[in-house]
Structure 1
Amino acid sequence: MAQQRPIVGSRRLISIIGGSIGNLVEWYDFYAYAAFALYFAPAFFPSDDRTSQLLGTAAVFAVGFLMRPLGAWWMGMYADSRGRKAGLTLSLILMFCGSALIALTPTHVAIGSAAPAILLFARMLQGISVGGEYGASATYLSEMAEGRNRGFWASFQYVTLIGGQLCALLVALVLGVLLSEAQIQAWGWRIPFAIGAVLALMAYGLRRRMAETDAFIDVGVDRPRSSLTALWRAYPTLFVRIAIVSGGGGLAFYAYTTYMQKFLVNSSGFSRGSATQIMTAALVIYMLAQPLAGHISDRFGRRPNMLAFAMLGTIATVPAFTILAGTQSAGAAVVIIVGLLLILTAYTAISGLFKAELFPPHIRALGVALPYAVGNALFGGTAEYVALSFKAAGMESGFYWYVAGAIAVTGVIFVTLPETRATSTEWELRGRSGRS
């Protein structure tokens, strides 16, 4: 394998920024669906009942998550064998195709049941893309960052992930000013997906110029094969533990962020515009908090962060949602949601890094991506559907307890996992000596 120039100074920083910008575009495209589902639900799932419409879009949203394990498996092996850079560029091509399809798909009125079928296929492409993106991105950032600041730099995975969600909300705010609700519902919802497709092409160009990581190159051309069989044989217990942690953490993330906007409209009674403004304010604070939590993990270790999330999230979830359901104050809603998101920050800032540090370089992208995708497919991706099902059954508070219980289970798993702050460096040193 051809050697690249040493990654030092500004070149390392440029590579980290390039990977982060691409990650932002990936997650903008993915979250544009959630941000505009309130508007395009009638176009694909005509019904007189808003909850029924949202159930239809939530089901398609969940399918995107169900495709994540396939994307994680396929693209994780690809990133382990062809390089982190190769995996990251491929994920953007798939995201472009999914976003362009959604932007161009006719409505149910025009082509009947083919409309939701095409929407479903587009979400499948996006799910495969994001399934591979998470593992390749977490691996790339953890390997590109210097050891003593790895938590700080790796936290930018979620800075850009949240940034993508925030950009989707900002586009919604701008369209809300420029267009009427009727115009957005009729055709304006297509604009964010068209923007996403164009941004994906631009980010693809940036990622093609990124450097490959030393950790990948050091393994050499005779690297052990990355495969599901190899991963399961070597790390079966770790696979299950990471899947459980990812399921609980992913459920909390989507409950506190993606579903929260719909909860504010469908349960608290806020207008769609007010809900968007509340979530935008909360997400800005959440995004800015990520590097601080990453820095804390560099100083005190990864496990204290994880255990803090598990303990505080278990305690706070039920009362927070209960109060939100009855509040009419936008200010109070922002404070409560920010409180939940700051608790979640302890997990999200280093979740990808924590998993990457548990695996050797030759199988790291697959080891991070696949159990994460499995856990999120089962719990994170179904969060909206489960929440709306509880609401439709007249037992909405059951969802609050469901989230709290899942977070509590992650706490049990965190206790069984080791401190990983120095693990990644050890793996890489062993890789250089040919013993990975």
Structure 2
Amino acid sequence: MSLSKADYVKSIFQAASGNFLEMYDFFIYGFYAQYIAKAFFPAHNQYISLMVTFSTFAAGFLMRPIGAIILGGYIDREGRRKGLMLTLAIMAIGTISIAIVPTYESIGLLAPLLVVLGRLLQGFSAGVEVGGASVYLSEIAPARHRGFFVAWQSSSLQLATMTAAGIGYLLNSVMMPDTIQAWGWRIPFFIGALIVPLLLVLRTTMRETDAFLAQRKHPEFSEIMRSMILNYRIIIVGALLISMTTVAFYLSEIYTPTFGRVVLHLSASDSLLTSFAVGLVALFAVPAMGALSDRIGRRPLLIAATILAMATSYPVLLWLVSNITFYHLVLTEIWFALLYAMYNGAAMVTLTEIMPARVRTVSLAFAFSVAVALFGGFTPMISTWLIHTTADKASPGYWLTFAALCGICATLMLPRSKNLASTDTAAQVGSSVPNFSD
């Protein structure tokens, strides 16, 4: 089916809407971690309280691989449109739960249990959201612009970061810290809950992709599992490929507010403005890099970004902690955002191109979810642990360096196919396991 430019814009907006809600929720959880810790996970030691809060944050990521298999299989069997509507509905429950659950002082242990349950549901649905949206965008995109289209999925995450940071900045401007601690931190979660009906309406009008409709037979769950086992190598490589992009994102955007306030002792407003600036840069940089990958190939960008990350991650953070100012924090995080944009602009579309066509959503979502569960979701907790253990405020740079090493290893193992940007790449890898020996 031939789509107009307006149809393409609408389809991108519909597909990316769920990613917006997912990242909006993750950002405000990361930013208000201190307040959430006191409300639901009180402890005499701030480090322990914060670690438990980030552990709950990470627990949601452990549900992602399960959600990727179950919901990803549903999407590959029933259709992109139906699946993306279902994931958004489940995701909304996680956002609403944080907003309405009473504090530990009010209901005791039931409070943290309900929060954990909400995070698990959120992680379950998020396990397929990025993968489902990426596959949808790759299948509706003109072949020569696939990288540019898929990149808008990641750009929606930046818009969510900017929105959440803007709301947080406004609250910090009009409310006293005690008021925010008492109940003000819940307002952004309520706003997220109010956005849900609009996003559900948007998704109900999505069109199904031609690629899915063209399949004569859609796989049953047993076939999906068998295909994933047969294609285990490409899934492992895909997970390693995503490690760099997920750590760079969660380090530069999700962990930044806590890092700025708790570690560098800058103001909450400074941390929020930094997150807003990082989101603004990445909002346009990711699609630009996606378009560049359409022109020069995926592999050159992947290699360049990982080498730069390995060479600069720790030195840049060391420079920041040795010269702590708001402007230095902004420059540091923007540098990480540019590394993320360069890598992500090529990585996400590569993932859609190397996965088998009949089980593309579940395979992509599972690889992505494993990477986020093992790398991204634990980034705030690992960063907090590294700083506490080593007494080195720049030590999170080691974590990004390690993720970049995983990324370049995965890039070198990718199947050869005209720089991973040929117009028929997806078809080439649709029915067979790529050759990893070259």
Q: TM-score band (shorter)?
A: over 0.9
Q: What is residue 53 of structure 1 aligned with on the other side? A: 49
How many equivalent pairs are there?
A: 426
Matched, 1:44 2:40: yes
- Pick aligned residue for 1:381 from 377, 382, 389: 377
Asked whether the equivalents of residues 244 and 306 of structure 2 are also in contact (C-alpha less than 8 Å), the reply is no
Residue identity (%)? 31
* TM-score in terms of structure 2 length: 0.92
Deviation at 1:216, TM superposition (A): 0.7
Q: What is residue 402 of structure 1 aligned with on the other side? A: 399
- Pick aligned residue for 2:66 from 63, 66, 70: 70
- Pick aligned residue for 1:345 from 329, 332, 341: 341
Deviates more, 1:321-330 or 1:85-94: 321-330
Deviates more, 1:38-47 or 1:139-148: 38-47
Q: What is residue 120 of structure 2 aligned with on the other side? A: 124
Q: What is residue 434 of structure 1 aligned with on the other side? A: none
Matched, 1:229 2:225: yes
- Pick aligned residue for 2:7 from 11, 16, 22: 11
Deviation at 1:352, TM superposition (A): 2.2
- Pick aligned residue for 2:266 from 270, 280, 283: 270
Asked whether the equivalents of residues 293 and 346 of structure 1 are also in contact (C-alpha less than 8 Å), the reply is yes
Q: What is residue 427 of structure 1 aligned with on the other side? A: 427
Asked whether the equivalents of residues 7 and 211 of structure 1 are also in contact (C-alpha less than 8 Å), the reply is no
Deviation at 1:162, TM superposition (A): 1.5
- Pick aligned residue for 1:370 from 366, 372, 383: 366
Asked whether the equivalents of residues 238 and 351 of structure 2 are also in contact (C-alpha less than 8 Å), the reply is yes
Q: CA RMSD in A?
A: 2.0
**Which whole-Å deviations, capped at 9, do the CAs of 1:161-214 have from their partners, x for residues lacking one?**
111122111111111122211111110111111111121221011011011111
Q: Secondary structure at the match of 1:212?
A: coil
Gaps of 5+ in 2: 432-438
Q: How does 1:92-241 map to 2 (within 5 A)?
A: 92-220=88-216, 222-225=217-220, 229-241=225-237
Asked whether the equivalents of residues 350 and 420 of structure 2 are also in contact (C-alpha less than 8 Å), the reply is yes
**Which whole-Å deviations, capped at 9, do the CAs of 1:134-169 have from their partners, x for residues lacking one?**
110110111111111111111101110111122111
**Which whole-Å deviations, capped at 9, do the CAs of 1:80-124 have from their partners, x for residues lacking one?**
011111111111101111111111000011011111111100001
* TM-score in terms of structure 1 length: 0.93
Asked whether the equivalents of residues 297 and 420 of structure 2 are also in contact (C-alpha less than 8 Å), the reply is yes
Letter paired with 1:98: G
Deviation at 1:409, TM superposition (A): 2.3
Gaps of 5+ in 1: 432-436
Matched, 1:411 2:390: no
Asked whether the equivalents of residues 138 and 356 of structure 1 are also in contact (C-alpha less than 8 Å), the reply is yes
Asked whether the equivalents of residues 247 and 380 of structure 1 are also in contact (C-alpha less than 8 Å), the reply is yes
Supply the distance in 2 between the matched residues of 1:282 and 1:110 (Cα, whole angstroms).
Answer: 37
Cα 1:385/1:22, change in 2 over 3 Å: closer
